[in-house]
């Protein structure tokens, strides 16, 4: 059964020594008050370190690395408090010169917006220097999605007759059956599983828990994995509360999940560019293709905004067109040909207006 929520303390430190006092305070705020994951905090920290290096002249300036006395952390913080829009634009120019993608630049700007909003709330600045800065327009890219046959090939690849293969099969089955993120998968604990009811408790972004169902194939794969795991002597001597463990009986990492997926993609003869997140995209797309409503898919994915989920509706357009063509009585009439079909067969004749008499 699902146990009550417990307080978790991250094992890894999110703060290296080279953070300025203001940046350290901001990251502590993200961790303790916003409950961001260690991975997210690490990404924010990396973006702010780069910005601080730009302010201090270590990067992005003609005199960078010329032996000038480096600024102290306090001096860098003073520059951050006095930062103006022009400085942000110069930083953007530096990112552009370094060939950063629009998506990466947008993420760095989002980090800075959050940081300066934090300083405004603390009363340390009165105006956000990014208030007049526009985020670069993103290219609209549809997520990759596997069809049902490809998913089946991938799920059949692991050999569940031995422990690690059974673990990998259960891992892939859970990812596709529930649509959870890889970071959520590796944090699953045994108390989060209710296999009798077919329910997982998932700790999502911002420590927002949600319940999501899993299918019979995933339940069977988990039962097989636990059967072999309980019979393994290594796990008896060092029991762990985590569901998915590595060969040493320790918690599996997200990077290990990616390595395992890469292995089975090769064995199944599938595109090696597929990521664990592709299974999440496939989960959402297949639900919508089979009649699920968008709001339910949003809840299952743990999306805060419905607009985030709406990207999957673009992937289902071909399916909707197919259903329409098969079901609507006037979709392909024998007497009047569909314009799309007629255009492929009949060349369009140019139109010449009649001359005025």
Give the sign of the dihedral formed by CA 268, CA 274, CA 280, CA 282. Answer: negative
- Scan for tokens 């990112």, then name that residue: 95
What is the full DSSP assignment across 297-336? HHHHHT-SSHHHHTHHHHHTHHHHHHHHHHH-TTTT-SSS
DSSP conformation class of 12 = S
DSSP conformation class of 290 = T
Residue 147 half-sphere exposure, CB side, CA atoms within 13 Å?
3
CA 210 to chain centre: 17
- In the three-class reduction of DSSP (H, G, I as helix; E, B as strand; rest coil), residue 149 is classed as helix
Please give the positions annotated as active site.
Answer: 181, 205, 277, 280, 303, 312
**Size of the chain, expressed as the number of residues it contains:** 357
Query: How many whole angstroms separate alpha carbon 98 and alpha carbon 118?
Result: 28
- In the three-class reduction of DSSP (H, G, I as helix; E, B as strand; rest coil), residue 188 is classed as coil
- Phi then psi for residue 271, to 5 deg, are -60, 120
CB 297 within 8 A of CB 309: yes
Instruction: For residue 322, give the nearest of 290, 349, 356, 357 by alpha carbon.
Output: 290
**Tokens, residue 214:** 């899993």
């Amino acid at each position: 059964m699902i146990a009550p929520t417990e307080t978790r303390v991250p094992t890894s430190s999110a703060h290296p020594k080279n953070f300025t006092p203001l940046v350290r305070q901001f990251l502590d705020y993200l961790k303790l008050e916003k409950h961001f994951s260690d991975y997210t905090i690490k990404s924010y920290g990396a973006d702010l370190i780069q910005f601080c290096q730009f302010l201090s002249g270590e990067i992005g300036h003609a005199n960078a690395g010329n032996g000038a006395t480096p600024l102290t952390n306090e001096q860098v913080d003073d520059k951050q408090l006095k930062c103006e829009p022009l400085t942000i634009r110069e930083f953007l120019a530096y990112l552009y010169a370094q060939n950063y993608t629009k998506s990466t630049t947008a993420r760095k700007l989002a980090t800075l917006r959050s940081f300066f909003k934090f300083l405004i709330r603390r009363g340390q600045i009165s105006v956000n220097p990014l208030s007049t800065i526009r985020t670069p327009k993103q290219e609209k890219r549809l997520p990759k999605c596997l069809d049902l046959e490809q998913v089946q090939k991938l799920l059949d690849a692991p050999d569940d007759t031995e422990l690690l293969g059974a673990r990998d099969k259960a891992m892939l089955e859970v990812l596709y059956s529930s649509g959870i993120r890889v970071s959520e998968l590796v944090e699953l604990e045994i108390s989060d599983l209710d296999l009798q009811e077919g329910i997982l408790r998932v700790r999502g972004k911002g420590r927002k828990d949600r319940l999501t169902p899993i299918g019979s194939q995933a339940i069977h794969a988990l039962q097989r994995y636990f059967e072999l795991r309980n019979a393994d002597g290594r796990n008896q001597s060092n029991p762990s509360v985590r569901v998915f463990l590595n060969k040493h009986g320790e918690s599996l990492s997200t990077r290990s999940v990616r390595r395992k997926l890469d292995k089975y993609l090769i064995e199944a003869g599938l595109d090696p560019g597929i990521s664990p997140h592709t299974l999440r995209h496939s989960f959402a797309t297949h639900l919508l293709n089979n009649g699920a409503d968008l709001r339910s898919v949003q809840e299952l994915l743990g999306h805060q905004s419905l607009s985030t989920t709406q990207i999957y509706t673009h992937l289902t357009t071909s399916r909707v067109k197919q259903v329409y063509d098969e079901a609507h009585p006037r979709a392909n009439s024998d007497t009047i040909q569909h314009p799309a079909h007629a255009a492929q067969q009949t060349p369009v004749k140019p139109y010449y207006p009649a001359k005025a008499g």
